[in-house]
Amino acid sequence: MSARSHAKVLALSGGVGGAKLAAGLDGILHPGGLTVLVNTGDDFEHLALHVSPDIDSVVYALSGRNDIERGWGRADETWQFMGALRELAGDDWFSLGDRDLAMHVLRTQALRQGEALSALTARAAAALGIRSQVVPMTDAPVRTLVHTDEGALAFQEYFVRRKCVPRVTGLCFEGVQRAMAPSAVLALLRDPALAAVVLCPSNPFLSIDPILAVPGLRDALSACEAPVVAVSPIIGGAAVKGPTAKILRELGHEVSPAAIAEHYAGLLDGIVIDEEDRDLRARIAIATCVTRTLMTRTDERASLARSVLDFAATLRDTPAVRGGCKQMRQA
């Protein structure tokens, strides 16, 4: 623990799965040591409110306010607003809890007043006592569009309304070409104190790829001195939650950590896979750490976070391995 008392870590995260590991990292690092760069491709306007599902998942997880049973939203949530909305014949396909609403209302107010999403996010995180930096991947509006056999669907249409049923044929991130990466994150990627970059076990297509598509971010990650490590969201041929396995299959990939490593080819120095997938190790071309990756209990977040950082430290201290990775990056 003392070794990482002043370590800096950057984590890339989508919603629920990623947020769990981010919370684990937050718990074992010194205050301010963790920066979580969060996907905003899922953001959307609903009932004229600006909803940032992944930012909220991260903020709720890092402040201990997330609902563990339900897997999204706030703990001890109530739903009086939704009941009243239905009475009034309002759009009720997307559930907004009474407590959760405070975040959407404040965010909408801030954005309408010209405040940046990043500034509002920092303010909210501080108000909830979060010690880490929670940073949206960009302040510009980026919207993930899911191309399917039913046509192009806005992310929430695909994810919530159509429950991920349509077959995915591709994805694009509208507006990403004009997006700017957060300067603090670009600076962090050049900081010699950066100990590791962690790609959380989020959906690679829906949660991590939008972040990597922000101009400059992928290059800055490739160029950074610190080891870049992914945690596989696939365990034993299935995703812990969400449509990762389904999308891998639909896009013609194998449903395994090997496909995850391949997806991030050129970017990773190592990958963390579950014990259940130990046998696949030989098929993965980069450094691989085998450990228990399922985070069911809260203490499992911290222990996975420890394993990930320990693994990253071995990659940093082993020039041969990093050399191997650099080669792979150029491949």
Binding site for a second copy (CB under 8 A): 47-49, 74, 77-78, 80-85, 87-90, 97-103, 105-106, 108-109, 112-113, 123-124, 127-128
Phi first, then psi, for residue 92 (nearest 5°) are -115, 20
Q: Closest Cα to residue 11, out of 183, 133, 122, 127?
A: 133
Q: What angle do CA 249, 175, 117 make, to 5 degrees?
A: 105
Contact 137, 40 (CB under 8 A): yes
Rounded least distance, CB 30 to a second copy, Å: 24
- Nearest CB to a second copy, comparing residues 84 and 193: 84
Rounded least distance, CB 83 to a second copy, Å: 7
- Nearest CB to a second copy, comparing residues 82 and 285: 82
Rounded least distance, CB 25 to a second copy, Å: 23
- Nearest CB to a second copy, comparing residues 5 and 113: 113
- Tell me 258's DSSP state: H
Rounded least distance, CB 239 to a second copy, Å: 30
Q: Which helix (H) or strand (E) holds 228?
A: strand 228-231
> What does the radius of gyration of the chain's CA atoms come to, in whole angstroms?
19
What gap in Å lies between CA 213 and CA 209, rounded to an integer?
A: 6
Angle at which helices 100-112 and 117-127 cross, to 10°: 140
- Nearest CB to a second copy, comparing residues 60 and 205: 60
- Nearest CB to a second copy, comparing residues 117 and 304: 117
- Nearest CB to a second copy, comparing residues 80 and 327: 80
Q: Closest Cα to residue 30, out of 62, 4, 64, 59?
A: 4
- Nearest CB to a second copy, comparing residues 110 and 284: 110
Rounded least distance, CB 62 to a second copy, Å: 14
What gap in Å lies between CA 211 and CA 257, rounded to an integer?
A: 20
Rounded least distance, CB 98 to a second copy, Å: 4
User: What own/partner pairs with CB < 8 Å and gap ≥ 24 does 315-323 have?
Assistant: 315/227, 315/229, 315/269, 315/270, 315/287, 316/195, 316/196, 316/226, 316/227, 321/269, 321/270, 321/287, 322/227, 322/269
Rounded least distance, CB 89 to a second copy, Å: 4
How many alpha carbons lie under 13 Å from residue 149 in its C-beta half-sphere? Answer: 7
- Nearest CB to a second copy, comparing residues 92 and 310: 92
- Name beta bridge partners: 196: 9
- Name beta bridge partners: 11: 36, 198
Rounded least distance, CB 200 to a second copy, Å: 24
- Nearest CB to a second copy, comparing residues 47 and 184: 47
Task: Tell me, letter by letter, the H, E, C secondary structure of 21-47.
Answer: HHHHHHHHCCCCCEEEEECCCCCEEEC
Rounded least distance, CB 5 to a second copy, Å: 29
